[in-house]
Structure 1
Amino acid sequence: MPEYFGQSPTGLAIIVFAAFLGGVVRGFSGFGTALIFLPIATPFLDPFKALTCLTIMDILGPLPNLRRAWREVDRGDLVRLVGGCALALPLGLWLLTAVDPHVFRYTVSLLAFLMLAILVFGLRYHGHVSRKMVLGIGGAGGFLGGVAGLPGPAVILFYMSRPLPVAVIRATILLYLFAFDFLLLGYLTGMDRITLPAVILGLVLAVPNLAGNWLGGWMFRPEREKLYRAAAYLAIALAALSGLPLWG
């Protein structure tokens, strides 16, 4: 089975673990699948295979938490985020076609570190939030999602820096990323970048990812916000380190 996916048993095991850990972090924080999965998986998968696997498993993984998130999300903001993302995503994907796989791998890790640093230092936005601003944040997320496979950092930084209830932040980010998966899958199909082994691997990875999402959702308690954020930050840091050339 590992050979069908072009992987050694060890490589496939690491990819499966990345899918599970990404699910756990997303389940209790509302984000983190790409920030965890891509730095760990890209040493073993080329950029478009990694994006395909991530998209397939990510569509199924959050299903246990969608109903709860839909009750808590700001639906107007969600529509604007997804609209901006849909407009900018094709540009990011076009740039990705010209990027060397190693550049993709290291860009993913460096963006993860940048996001982590901003979150840890607690930068917060207290100004007026306009509809155009939310649309622009969605566009930034779509561009980064195309060129680096990371649609979350711009949106996550924006919402986690705002003085909003953690449940609203979690729901908004979770549903935005869920919508992004459908957009990305559609664009990749149109670009003829979808391969059968990558789709099947994505379906296989959906099982540990779904289990991780369920476990993370079960663990989530709003009153333990600081604990969840600390755990998410640690997981992101370790995943980002794993994608750097420190390990060969």
Structure 2
Amino acid sequence: MPEILATPGLGWLVFATCLAGLVRGFAGFGTALIYLPIAGTVLPPVWAIVTLTIMDLIGPLPTVPRAVRDGHPRDVLRLCAGLAVTLPIGLAVLLSVPPEAFRYAVSLVTFVMLAALVSGWRYRGQVTPPKVYGIGACAGFLGGAAGLPGPPVILFYMARPLPASVVRATLTLFLLIYDGMALGLLTAKGEVTLTPFLIGAILIVPNLLAIQVGAAMFHPDRERLYRRIAYTIIAGAALMGLPLWGDM
């Protein structure tokens, strides 16, 4: 444990975790978009993804029973079918490119997601079952290559005529399954070692505390303000993650 606490950049990881948790608490999204760009400056790409998945596995667990009840099971199966096909491909890309490429990819995907959110872009076509498979496949590749499976699902599900509770529950189940599959595949490849696993475990506590603080800060009548703050923080994290500035 002393060696883990002496990990270079651990302070930055705790900072990124708390910042991501606060935004997740009052805006409802943004954990990976904030954590990964910053974590990529102090950790190898695989370690950044492992610490995120470990840290983020615990928080949603109490919501799983409700997510199973409220979610769209057929869509979860379709998304996960696409995920299963392309996640190994994305991970193969991740393991074959230099860390700088990972950091550019994370920041680029973050900027694209942020631009879509700020502009209010919505997919106008009908989201048919074959397209859901495709969305899952896109999410699987991005989840493997950049640790960001959420953006494709979030953007396209905004277009579906489904209650917000159903979309949220479906996304929660999908991301939990992604975390399990990504960790399983990386473990099978021998990429999950004790150090990143323990770092992720350490970050669980500040993550949960920050989410609770962020949720306590939330007031419905200030939702637009919170979103603007979230967008600003996400943009700042994406800029920090660019290799142009070097490592922290």
Which of the five TM-score ranges fits, normalised by the shorter chain?
Answer: 0.7 to 0.9
Q: How many residues align?
A: 246
CA drift of 1:232 comes to 3.0
1:178 to 176, 179, 195: 176
In the alignment, structure 1 residue 82 sits paired with structure 2 residue 80: yes
Contact (CA 8 Å) 1:90, 1:187: kept in 2 or not?
Answer: yes
1:187 to 180, 185, 188: 185
Q: Which among 3, 13, 37 is matched to residue 35 of structure 2?
A: 37
- Cα distance in 2 for partners of 1:21, 1:70 equals 29
What's 1:108 paired with? Answer: 106
Q: 1:141 to 1:118 in 2, by over 3 A?
A: same
TM superposition shift of 1:228: 4.6
> 2-side partners of 1:42 and 1:28: how far apart?
24
Which sections of structure 1, spanning at least 5 residues, go unmatched? none
CA contact (8 A) 1:84 1:136 kept: yes
RMSD between aligned alpha carbons? Answer: 2.4
Whichever residue aligns with residue 236 of structure 2, its letter is L
- The whole-number CA distance in structure 2 between the counterparts of 1:151 and 1:240 is 16
- Measured after TM superposition, the shift of residue 29 of structure 1 is 4.5
Matches within 5 A, 1:146-157: 146-157=144-155
Are 2:123 and 2:158, in contact at CA under 8 Å, matched by a contact in 1? no
Task: Find the aligned partners of 2:176 and 2:221 in 1 and give their Cα distance.
Answer: 25
Between 91-100 and 123-132, the greater mean CA deviation after superposition: 123-132
1:160 Cα deviation from its structure 2 partner? 3.1
TM-score under structure 1 length normalisation: 0.87
Match of 1:22 among 20, 23, 29: 20
Deviation at 1:68, TM superposition (A): 4.4
The match for 2:54 is 56
CA distance in 2, matches of 1:221, 1:66: 25
Describe the superposition over 1:38-76 as per-residue Cα deviations: whole angstroms up to 9, x where unpaired: 101111000111111111111112234444444432232
Q: Return the alpha-carbon distance in structure 2 between the equivalents of residues 138 and 220 of structure 1.
A: 31
Q: Distance in 2 between matches of 1:225 and 1:201?
A: 33
**1:93-242 to 2 correspondences below 5 Å:** 93-162=91-160, 164-217=162-215, 226-242=224-240
After TM superposition, the score normalised by the length of structure 2 is 0.87
Aligned to 2:4: 4
| Aligned residues with identical type, % of pairs | 55
